[in-house]
Structures are given as C-alpha cells and as structure tokens.
Amino acid sequence: MSELLAVGRITDLDALGPAETLESYVGRGGYEGLRRALSMEPEQITAQVDQAGVVGRGGAGFPAAAKWRMAAANPGPRYLVVNGAEGEPGSYKDRHLMARAPHQVLEGIAIASRAIGATTAVVYVNRLFAKAGAALEAAAGELGSSDLAKALPKLSVRVEHHVYIAGEETALLAALIGRPPWPWPKPPYPAERGLYGSPTVVNNVETLAHVSAVLRLGPAWYQNQRPILFSVTGDVSTPVVVESSLGVSLESLLSQAGGVMRGDEVAGVLPGGYSLPWLGADQLGLAMDPVALAEAGTGLGASIIVVGRRRGLGSAAAAIAAFFARETCGTCPICVTGTARLAEAMAAGVDSGLVPERAEAVESLAAEHRHRGICTLLDTAAAMAQSAAPRLVSHGRRAGAFTPMATKQS
C-alpha cells in the first residue's frame, strides 16, 4: 500500500479522481499516527521524526526535527506554515498530495503543530491549483466535531498569487501578512522570528505527509522504506508523480514516465528541478539518493526534469537562465544584474555554439555570483549556468523555447 498516495499522471487534478475520503484514509491506518502523538510529549514526537531522519521536501533537505526544536525553544505563540506554493517548474507532487490525500497532509499538520506547540496553522496554496486547498478544507470539514477535529490547530487556507519567489519561506511569510513577497536576510530564521514576529515552522506539504507516515508506522519502518514522491517531467512521454523509495535509479523513474518522448534520446537531466546542477545522459544509472547525487555534484530537489536531444541541453539551459532573470524579486542589485548577465551569456553561447573560451567565461561569471544574494535564487542561477557551460561545448547549438510543464495544469 502506498503510504503517501499521490501516484498519478500529471494532468488536470479533476481527471485524477476525487480526494481520498476520511473512511478510506482511516481504513489504511490514517490518523493512528495522530492518536499516538496525542499520547506523547511534544519532544517525544520530535524525537521520532529525528530518529526517522525526515528531511524537508521543499528543496533544501533541512532536517525537520532540528527546525521544530529551534521553534519550540522560543517563547510562543508559535505558528506552523505549510508551504504549498509549488512554483518550482516541473514540480507537481504537493498539489497532488493536497488534492488526493488531504487527510494525510492534515494529519501531518496536526502532529507537527502538537510537536512545536502551535495552535494555528496557515496553509499557503498557489492559486494555480486552488482546488487542492479546497480539498484540504473539505477534509477538515469531514472531521466534523470528532475528537480528531479537536486535535487540529486552527486552520487557515490562504490561496495566493503564483509568484516563484513567494515559495521562499521568508518571502512567503511576508506575503501572508500582505507585504510584497521579498525574502529577508537570515538570521533571524522563521523558527526564531516568523509570522507576526513569532516563532514559525515553515514546512513543505510533502514533508508533513512524511510525518504522518512516521508516527503511524514508526521510524524504523520509515528508514527502511525511505518513501518519497518524484515528479518526473520535461521531454518524457507521460509526465508523472511517482511514489518510490530513495535510492531508486533515475533510469527506472524515466521508464515509469514512459521514456523520452517520440523516441528521442536523453541530452541531460535536472534531478533537482531548476535549482540544482545537471546530470548527463551517461548518468541514468545513478541512485536517486542525496549522498549519491551529492557525489555526482548535484542533489535531490522538488522535481526531475528530463531534456531530450531534439530540444537540446543548450536551449534548455538558456531558457532556465532567462527564467531566473525574470523571477528575481529585485531586492539585491547584484541579483538583478547577475541573473541578466548570466541569461545573456547563456543565450549568446547557445546562438553561436559554445566554444571553450566562451564556456569558461560563463563559468567564471557564475563563480563571481555564487553566495551573493539575500536568498539562494542568485546562487541557484549561477550554479545552473556553471554546471551547464562545460556540457554545452560538446552538445552544441539547438534552438527553441523550453517548457517543462508538458501538460495542462490545474
């Protein structure tokens, strides 16, 4: 039995069928984790999550327990904020979870709130998939006035604009209080001073779904199974959200997405969405595991984007550089100029064929911009260009726009 329940084609959420009902969720052991948590002290809950080794699924892979402890150590009131912005191109897992397994997310929210001592939880939902937020609200309504409903924090679902930078946790907190979604420099971390100046844990939707599974099935089960959701998109035949285990090979995920579309071949893969460096076509045997990916110079993120030879790695890399130049929030001048210069250099490189000297120029421009912005957007843009440039020398020129969202969104 799938523990996270979000397997499905990436398509209109309606076409995936209705959300799992309370009856069906309870039938597969749902809310047993919450019942267990209610009989535990908050630190005991956090210790289970720590033992399981749950790390954040919003992209940074930060240990959930460490963040919870930091918030719990600061005087309340405390808040839990659920990051359902999912603005990362190619990522669909969070909207699927909210829409299809809302009780699993709700249970994680209740458990995390108890662990950190939060009486209010705010769910930030991207308006592109407002229906997913409505499914969460309906699931909370299904609990009626049961004892489980009493264990939920006060829940507020906020449907907000689709702005890429608003997914960054401090920008998201700013948006929630009606300010422009601009990141702030850390420290202070949200767990110290977040929503309304109070300690706030910001967790990704999938992270909280993992928490429910840990409390229900135990840390040993979790460590053994290492469940995870992968969105596999880009130039594949059937973009999918797949529930699998850490350590699965990239090749196996690619075949679950029907292989590369129209008989094309892989030019490169982004195993961590737009945010982490490229893998080459010769690395498909690699295990999707944080350690193996780090050794290969990249990492695990919110989505896996496959680029075919017809599109070409060059046009994809140039389009991604242009994406960052468009999405910078403009707070740091160096990010505005840096992302623009990187985008221009990548585009020029692709247009003229990236000769080794030009590739070196892109790499050194990227190196100049590493670790320079308030948030990691500039660093990400630089790392992306830095990893693409040497690969482009051999891949050469391809034109065309890059659109990883291969199918309709909802």
Ligand X SMILES: Cc1cc2nc3c(=O)[nH]c(=O)nc-3n(C[C@H](O)[C@H](O)[C@H](O)COP(=O)(O)O)c2cc1C
Interacting residues toward ligand SF4 by CB under 6 A? 165, 183, 328-332, 335, 373-375, 377-378
In the complex, least distance from residue 207 CB atom to ligand X, rounded to whole angstroms: 3
Backbone dihedral region for residue 287 (phi beyond 0: left; psi -120 to 50: alpha; all else: beta): beta
By CB under 6 A, tell whether 377 contacts ligand X. Answer: yes
306 touches ligand X by CB under 6 A: no
Packing angle, helices 313-327 and 377-395, rounded to 10: 160
Q: Binding partner of residue 378 among ligand X, ligand SF4, none, CB under 5 to 8 Å per kind? A: ligand SF4
Least distance between ligand SF4 and beta carbon 185 (Å): 8
Residue (of 76, 114, 56) closest to 199 by Cα position: 76
Among ligand SF4, ligand X, none, partner that 330 touches (CB below 5 to 8 angstroms by kind) = ligand SF4
Q: Nearer to ligand X by C-beta: 107 or 168? A: 168
User: Does 83 interact with ligand X (rule: CB under 6 A)?
Assistant: yes
Amino acid at 235: D
Residue 230: φ, ψ to 5°:
-120, 130
Task: Kindly provide the b/e burial profile for residues 33-72, where b requires at least 16 CB atoms within 10 angstroms of the residue's own CB.
Answer: bbebbeebebeebbbbbbebebbbbbbeeeebbebbbbbb
> Comparing C-alpha atoms, which of 169, 162, 20 is closest to residue 100?
20
Residues 6+ positions from 204 with CB-CB distance below 8 Å = 56, 57, 58, 59, 82, 83, 94
Measured at CB, which residue is nearest to ligand SF4?
373
User: From ligand X, ligand SF4, none, which one binds at residue 60 (CB under 5 to 8 Å depending on kind)?
Assistant: ligand X
Minimum distance, C-beta of residue 87 to ligand X, in the bound complex (Å): 4
Nearest approach in angstroms of CB 380 to ligand X is 7
Q: Which two tokens stand for residue 396?
A: 């050469």
Near ligand X by CB under 6 A, which window of 86-94, 105-113, 249-257, 353-361? 86-94
- Of 10-18, 43-51, 53-61, 231-239, the window that binds ligand X (rule: CB under 6 A) is 53-61
Q: Which residues bind ligand X (CB under 6 A)?
A: 56-60, 62, 83, 85-88, 165, 167-169, 202-204, 207, 375-377
